[in-house]
Amino acid sequence: MGEPVADLEMATALARGAARVILDVKAEARAHSKTKSDQSPVTLADLAADRLLRAGLAHTGDVVVTEESWTPATMPRGGRVWVIDPLDGTEDFVAGRPDYVVQVGLVVDGLPRLGVICQPETGVVWRGVVGDGRCERLAGDVVQSCSLPLQGTLVGTPRIAVSVSHPSALVDFVVKELGAVVVPMGSVGLKIGLLVDGGADAYVTGSKRIKVWDTCAPIAILLAAGGAVSTLEQAEVRYDGDVVHAGGLCAWGVPARSALLEPLQEALRCFAGQSQRGDPARPIKPA
């Protein structure tokens, strides 16, 4: 069994190493992307980062689940499992946008234990250990503790982080019903980074494309900062079942959850009713 501090430092070093590898091959990788069987893109950068991360964790004896290497439809049950997205936001990467990251998460007995996110283009790292009250943002030599309020009132218009690459009628409808503004962002990790940094209040998705490697590290960091996460139906998010988050996700701080939970549930009911009637969704524009 690893120790949280040692695990966190190891994961941080590996994420930074993978980020350097991505930057080293960036030009060639962007010029020669391929499409996987699920129609998502993959590049030389994804694969090179994947190899480095798996090699760096081989000595732990833990199970390692990565987007590029894990083929079963379900996750391992019990024990320590590293859950990794070597390049989250590949579509953004290929498009030349900086909204992509390396994500290294650790699950213990089905629940997120720690997470590290590294953005190659900026070198910024977000990391946290669940239950230890440790969540940090590292930018160069500056280490900033991150924490979300555990009580209080949501002030101002709600800000909801939304995907740049994957438009969603459900999210558009929810944002409209909540009177919120959208904060467009690529990687799931960067959306959670926005929440932890105070740049957004919530992240809501019903996408069937979101998988455990997209969310494990980000959710661990959010929980370490004092945030909350659940499925759209408010069930616990676990990492010992299907690799796909079929129930969607709600991620937010406590004030946002307190203010938006009931309106969100009503919006979801209205959206389901409109979908059954075949009514068109109402599109919105970013703020």
pLDDT of residue 287: 35
Instruction: Say how far apart CA 182 and CA 51 lie, in whole Å.
Output: 35
**Structure confidence by residue, pLDDT tens digits, 216-227:** 999 999 999 999
Write the DSSP string, 33-69: -EE-TTS-EE-HHHHHHHHHHHHHHGGG--EEEETTT
Percent of the chain surpassing pLDDT 90: 80
pLDDT at 214: 96
Start-to-end CA span in the chain (Å): 46
For residue 208, the model assigns a pLDDT of: 82
d(CA 49, CA 73): 22
Domains in the chain: ranges and CATH: 4-145 (3.30.540.10), 159-277 (3.40.190.80)
- The pLDDT of residue 76 is above 60: yes
State pLDDT tens for residues 141-193: 899 999 999 888 898 999 999 987 777 889 999 999 999 999 999 899 999 99
Least Cα distance to 271 among 212, 214, 216, 204 occurs for 204
What average pLDDT does this structure show over 59-65?
97
The pLDDT score that the predictor gives to residue 272 is 86
Structure tokens at 30: 């962007």
Q: How many CB atoms lie within 10 A of CB 278?
A: 6
| Mean pLDDT across the chain | 92
